[in-house]
A and B are shown apart, each in its own frame.
Chain A
């Protein structure tokens, strides 16, 4: 075990734990943001630099500070390490810079993006970004890229986190996509404009932190915060698929099926394309109850419960809205 001090809080973690995961054992607002790191994906992390922290003391044996900020997601803890995250002005300034860099080529099309409400970059920018940009140059844009009937690649939004590449590499036997080009001309692509076609390809949608890879069967159907997430499971015939999912309801319709995620938005168990794209009837599933969405996004922030509407407001609503409210009573998220 190693004892580290993270923002003044002492915590014991097993040897080999990364600084980020040590911070996650504390939880709350001091956990560094992570755009590219994804616990179940081996080798991920270290790329977006969003989780940079200052190591004020390397270890009890060698208490010298580390000369540069380190990526907390790939740096293992040492016994006696002292880490500064929210307590370091330098770290917070760098984080502002990272948001600015990431937003250079990421369009602010949140109003029409399917990832809005679930977007890691949206949350990161809200928490650490500034309201203006100093970037005056031409931005990078891409033509629409067709990678098959199930997944939409919207390359303009991609922040090159490599998560989908790791997913494809580690989950599928027929990886056809990767990073082409380099520098700010790098892009996720298939060689040559192939379609992505394998039974676990849908998982790249779940790991994408922004709206670069979205579900074609769900696109533009609904804003995510107007849907109701419900945990469900089925006996999937695919032995690699866990069969445990979240069904996203609008009224009685299942608009989307995703894998279940933890509080940091990470999938713990992968699901196959059959569960994700083909099983969209309630009868296909055994419902378990409301899904717990413990993230600082609008999904859990906006409950849209009836009590917020006073009697006068309800009386003034048009008939169609009243009918809609009756048919689709808002569900409180969480427990």
Chain B
């Protein structure tokens, strides 16, 4: 059994209340940090831990914190990105609804480290019930003296707010989130300047994912070095994986980074194999925006090594043979899955969610979806697959924010690894679009 750092007490009855949470060691990190450590020492511990951003990008959290500009007399902010809304990713809402005080504790300790006196949790608007849970937890923390003026007599003040978004995926992009938090339309900003220099209200700001902030109390309590001992290489600590799709036991698992993908899929400790005894066809390992990989590449790297659940191992081979750990949205697909339909479905999402600010994303995401729609419905032509790949390439890297890439990567990867299936849709539209049709393999195309 792997160690559980964040979710150890998740099933304890009443753990969402201050009293029970406190009984199980809650808020120790706040006491330790505020009474015995300087803010810089907290930052140093986070750096030592090797914690990497759990929202998807995997940027080292401690390093991100150290980039924060600290001009005299200017407020700075910590914003928690709780706008989780990528298809396949649903770990943060579970963490927040079951362990709200873990996030609140993380916010206090992290805000202290960054010198922020006002912090925000920007939560997806649809998660109204989670917002209520968090608001209750915050009220309890205020009542217990862990928030507000002069916390624990340390002289440190902090106000914490939860702000619901309007329900736009783009508001999970950090600069769009800041725009939205400021009350404006959630359009991403041009970078530079980065939020660490000019973020919320043009002040230095750090934006971190829920899971990253929830890991901070553990790091402060046990020390960064201890945290860094878990995991493999530069992928340290534990990671929440939201597993879904054709698995026997879909759900949210806290794994020690470094678990082999094969073990994660097939062992009873985790997903328990593919449902109905079917064969695995493909996996999207890190949320719908990362490249899809066929079975042979998700289980083994190009070099034939077992693929591990780490940032490095999953991205081994670049996008030719690898993918990304991303936000840990693990979507498994069995042998009956239609890859074209699946890609179209992802494309529909990104087309719908593009903010429309920059031309390649605004026009390109719609173009991708429309071609995929035609292919899936039996109206594709010979040229479509190449146009699809080319349009995805035109979007990739040329947009203001990563939503363009999120729309393009699944399409590029699907064509890269499953081109035969796309060609089958073009050559045999009636057969390919028959309800329940399963791609019969390359032989049919010869």
Contacts and interface: CB of A to CB of B under 8 A. Distances in A.
Interface in A157-176: 159-160, 162
A104 interface: yes
A97 B397 CA distance: 12
Contact of A46 (B353, B354, B358, B374): B358
B430 interface: no
B266 interface: no
Nearest to B361: A183
Interface in A16-59: 45-50, 52
Interface string B349-366: 001111111111011111
A125 B19 CA distance: 66
A139 B333 CA distance: 34
Contact of A97 (B192, B360, B371, B383): B360
Contact of B358 (A47, A76, A105, A179): A47
A184 B185 contact: no
B354 A182 contact: yes
Contacts of A47: 357-359, 400
A134 interface: yes
Nearest to B365: A183
B370 interface: yes
A182 B358 contact: no
Interface string B10-26: 00000000000000000
B190 interface: yes
Contacts of B363: 101-102, 104-105, 184
Nearest to A162: B357
A101 B364 contact: yes
Contact of A135 (B357, B359, B367): B367
Contacts of A135: 367
Given A104-B367, A105-B363, A179 B398 contact: no
Interface string B84-126: 0000000000000000000000000000000000000000000
> A101, A162, A179, A185 — which one has the most chain B CB atoms within 10 A of its CB?
A101
Given A49-B398, A182-B356, A183-B354, 5 more contacts: A98-B360, A137-B374, A182-B354, A183-B355, A184-B356
Interface in B344-397: 351-360, 362-367, 370-371, 374, 383, 387, 390, 394, 397
A97 B365 CA distance: 14
A2 interface: no
B390 to A, nearest CB: 8
Contacts of B354: 182-184
A183 B190 contact: no
Contacts of B185: 178-179
B406 to A, nearest CB: 13
A98 B398 CA distance: 9
Interface residues of A, number: 36
B147 interface: no
B362 A184 contact: yes
Contact of B399 (A49, A50, A74, A184): A49
A278 to B, nearest CB: 34
* Size bracket of the B interface: 20 to 34
A242 interface: no
B190 A160 contact: no
B359 A183 contact: no
B399 to A, nearest CB: 7
A95 to B, nearest CB: 10
Interface in A73-117: 74-76, 94, 97-98, 100-102, 104-105
A181 interface: yes
A74 B189 CA distance: 11
B312 to A, nearest CB: 18
**10 pairs of A and B residues whose beta carbons are closest in the complex:** A186-B356, A97-B394, A46-B190, A183-B354, A137-B370, A184-B366, A101-B363, A74-B190, A68-B397, A183-B356
A242 B192 CA distance: 34
A271 interface: no
Nearest to A137: B370
Contacts of A185: 356
Interface string B192-227: 100000000000000000000000000000000000
Given A74-B190, A182-B168, A160 B360 contact: no
14 contacts: A48-B359, A49-B359, A49-B360, A49-B400, A97-B360, A97-B398, A98-B394, A100-B394, A101-B394, A105-B363, A137-B367, A160-B359, A162-B357, A186-B355
A130 to B, nearest CB: 12
A184 B365 contact: yes
A296 to B, nearest CB: 21
A241 interface: no
Given A101-B360, A160-B356, A182-B355, A137 B371 contact: yes
A63 B185 CA distance: 36
Contacts of A101: 359-360, 362-364, 367, 394
Contacts of A160: 356-357, 359, 362
A185 B170 CA distance: 15
A183 B190 CA distance: 18
A246 interface: no
